[in-house]
Amino acid sequence: MSKGRVTIPTDANFVDGTKKLLQYWGADAVRDCDGVSLPADVRQFGSDVYKAYFIVREDHEYALAHKEYWQNVALTTDRVTAKSDALDVDLLANTFRESLEVNTLDYKKYWQVIDRTDGTIHADWQYLGNNIVRITNCKLYHEYTVNFFAVNTWDPVQIYNYHVNNWHVPKDIDLDPVYPEALAHMLSRMESWLKANPDVTVVRFTTFFYNFFIVNVTGLKQRIWDWHCYAMTASPAMFELFSAETGREITLEDIVDGGYYSNRFRIPNPTMRAYVDFVQRKCADWAKLFVDLCHKYGKKAIMFDGDHRIGVEPYSPYFANIGLDGVVGAPSSAIYVQQIANMQGIDFTEGRLNPYFFPNECPGDERGTQILLNCWNSMRRGMLKKPIDRIGFGGYLKQVAEYPTFVKAVRQVCDEFREIRTNVGKTSCKSKGKIAVLSYWGRRDSWMLNGTFVDDAGQGACYYWSILAALAVLPFDVDFLSFDDVLDGKLDGYDIAVSCGLTGTSFHGDKCWANPDLLTAIRRFVDNGGGFVGVGEPSGYQRQGRFIQLSDVLGVERECDFRHFEKRDDIDIVPEHWITQGVDMSLVGFNRFVRNIYPVGATVLAADYDWEYPKGNQNAGNVHFAVNEYGKGRSVYLSGITANNQTIRLLYRAFLWAMRGEDKTKYNYAESADVDVFFYEQSGKYALFNDSDNAVETTYYDVDGNKRSVTLGAKEIKWL
């Protein structure tokens, strides 16, 4: 049994049990948690002591005395159609009125009535009070919305817990650090707390200032939930500060964005982009004040990447300035492990595993064990690529202490994690090439493309998300570059550029593909030997007779119903290719919803025709998989792909082929698509990993290219 790298919850009423499990699991840190508090003499554990701290939401007394410092939110109403000259709009229709209050401060300056039918600001309106705006001189049958500020009267994260648990605790109210007095008060309160908690060695911020965007309909029902949106940072004060410091004007519509709230899938307007940058910079500055205080009192400062994460996102460009010691995330997949493991500007990363030791999340020994092992199995392959530094648990320790199988399973997970972390070190497995994943955002949204957070591949997205799933476990260095990075020449040194965004979104690029410089940068990159892997409708933007703007590079185009005059040949599908060798293509699912892609020079490896239409000149068919050569470089096109061991292997070979790296299957490579060969240069060790539910016997090539054979049990890791 090894020791360290594990945080467990403790409980004032479970001191001896804590000691026993600290030792049994080899944990080296204890933490408090919702519903449990640290023992009085917590130093006796001889471990680190984590304690959560909430900056903006727990100072009820001060908050009630200073309503002027409460946080705001930028909101817009639903659209209402004018069927007469005047229209009364209820600003809080369909909104939980205990959580929001219309902010009438300088409302004539900030609020906006917008005619959504002609897209203009409408001048004629008045506020009648009682949440009602009356719009006059309406154009008949035009739709109108009202943008306004509301004061946040209840911390939105607490609302749900409050109602579902039938709490009668004080309601949390969020204070806004944009007001210097409020910020000063928060800092002095923190200093008092630091003095009062000498036993705490690690302060765990949950999180800092501004909540992600939640709007409730009732106490139990939300209508908006966005982990990335900046609507809750907005206030008259923040707008003033933004203008004063940047010299730019901002209006509610910049945030509201027609009701899309300039969410992460949208390409923001320049003002909104500047605003987000500004808020990130301010939040980093403010957060640093709190972190510095922790350090002054000899404590480490870490943050949980959760509730009040807006402005201090770990991939924001100002994040490292905060000076945090660590970040805790909640990984649920290899992608999420990479998202945490690749954070920079901190000393360590930690992953909070499931289940929480709460009765509802860990209901019994068997079910709890199952949830734990599922969680662990879903991330192990990512850990083998590049591990995080620590793992941890939360909840009621006392409860799970009575689950013998669970307790043993936790020990097994902790040991296996430590073994991985020890063998791999603070590094990655040896890479076979450098891959740049392109999007509008670049590094800011590392490992978070196409979903609402890290792992949420919603409708349409799973066929793109799978690319990240592969990159999270394959032996390549992966960076996320923005289109601006590409324009700045930052593709240099990469072997491959990947585009895998849902069409029309920021992850895809949409109108960015109308920029000639972006197109030529990628053409140059590929022509000079780079690889380009495009998924879905890469570079798709209707312009100058083309949809797929890089159709010369990819060798495919999309029929947008503008070339039905073309007499098409039936697509010639090439059944054999280096990429598909050793891949069970019957388990490879392509994206059936990406349609009408047809070859313009590419070699097609997979395509189909809709049964509704005979082959013929009007029917472009649907190419799903194609390869092309362009100068010294190569490209691979995929309509999208499901995620499983066979598709990950297919992508592995596709990346190698695109970088002309066919020889790279001659070392650190197993014949079986279920088996990874991770090699770690620092330690000189290998991990052979069978990521299937069956035993596998396979040949593999070691780092020197020697052919060997191995048998691995289901999910077994073998260290050599």
Q: Please report, as residue ranges, which positions from 456 to 485 form the binding site for a copy of itself (by CB under 8 A).
A: 456-463
Say if residue 564 is exposed, middle or buried (CB neighbours under 10 Å; 0-12, 13-18, 19+).
exposed
Q: Please report, as residue ranges, which positions from 110 to 129 form the binding site for a copy of itself (by CB under 8 A).
A: 114, 116-119
What binding mask, one character per residue, do residues 65-104 give for a copy of itself by CB under 8 A, x or -?
A: --------------x-x-x---------------------
CA geometry: angle 552, 558, 563, nearest 5 deg = 100
Torsional sign, CA 588, 594, 598, 603: negative
As measured in angstroms, the least distance from the Cβ of 452 to a copy of itself is 5
Rg (CA), the chain: 27
Total site size for a copy of itself, rule CB under 8 A: 78
How far apart CA 337 and CA 391 sit, in angstroms, is 11
How far apart CA 213 and CA 272 sit, in angstroms, is 16
As measured in angstroms, the least distance from the Cβ of 458 to a copy of itself is 3
Q: Are 59 and 175 in contact (CB under 8 A)?
A: yes
Binds a copy of itself by CB under 8 A, chosen from 173, 340, 410, 502:
502
41 lines the binding site for a copy of itself (CB under 8 A): no
* Chain centre distance of CA 515: 27
- Other CB atoms within a 10 A radius of the CB of residue 130 amount to 9
Binds a copy of itself by CB under 8 A, chosen from 46, 108, 123, 141:
141
265 lines the binding site for a copy of itself (CB under 8 A): yes
619 lines the binding site for a copy of itself (CB under 8 A): yes
Written as six digits, the tokens of 707 are: 């052919």
Smaller CB separation from a copy of itself, 22 or 518: 518
As measured in angstroms, the least distance from the Cβ of 304 to a copy of itself is 21
Smaller CB separation from a copy of itself, 167 or 260: 260
Strand partners, 646: none
Q: Are 351 and 328 in contact (CB under 8 A)?
A: yes
Q: Please report, as residue ranges, which positions from 219 to 238 form the binding site for a copy of itself (by CB under 8 A).
A: 221-226, 229
Cis before residue 647, ω within 30 degrees of 0?
no
523 lines the binding site for a copy of itself (CB under 8 A): yes
Question: Quick one: which H or E segment has residue 657?
Answer: helix 645-658
Smaller CB separation from a copy of itself, 206 or 591: 591
505 lines the binding site for a copy of itself (CB under 8 A): yes
444 lines the binding site for a copy of itself (CB under 8 A): no
Binds a copy of itself by CB under 8 A, chosen from 4, 317, 631, 661:
631
* Chain centre distance of CA 403: 33
Smaller CB separation from a copy of itself, 394 or 621: 621
Binds a copy of itself by CB under 8 A, chosen from 17, 258, 306, 582:
258
Binds a copy of itself by CB under 8 A, chosen from 58, 305, 552, 676:
552
Smaller CB separation from a copy of itself, 646 or 665: 646
As measured in angstroms, the least distance from the Cβ of 130 to a copy of itself is 25
492 lines the binding site for a copy of itself (CB under 8 A): no
Binds a copy of itself by CB under 8 A, chosen from 53, 70, 149, 213:
213
Burial 52-67 (b: 16+ CB within 10 A, else e): bbbbbbbbeeebeebe
Binds a copy of itself by CB under 8 A, chosen from 281, 490, 524, 685:
524
As measured in angstroms, the least distance from the Cβ of 677 to a copy of itself is 31
| Backbone phi, psi, residue 562, to 5° | -115, 0
Helices (H), 115-269: 156-164, 180-196, 236-246, 252-256
How far apart CA 203 and CA 210 sit, in angstroms, is 18
Q: Please report, as residue ranges, which positions from 553 to 592 form the binding site for a copy of itself (by CB under 8 A).
A: 559-567
| Backbone phi, psi, residue 566, to 5° | -80, 130
Binds a copy of itself by CB under 8 A, chosen from 132, 289, 487, 519:
519
Q: Please report, as residue ranges, which positions from 297 to 336 form the binding site for a copy of itself (by CB under 8 A).
A: none
Helix (H, G, I), strand (E, B) or coil at 276: helix
Q: To which residue do tokens 């036993």 refer?
A: 199
Smaller CB separation from a copy of itself, 214 or 293: 214
Smaller CB separation from a copy of itself, 192 or 520: 520
Of 633, 543, 641, 663, the C-alpha closest to 589 is 641
Q: Any idea which residues carry the catalytic annotation?
A: 307
How far apart CA 76 and CA 513 sit, in angstroms, is 30
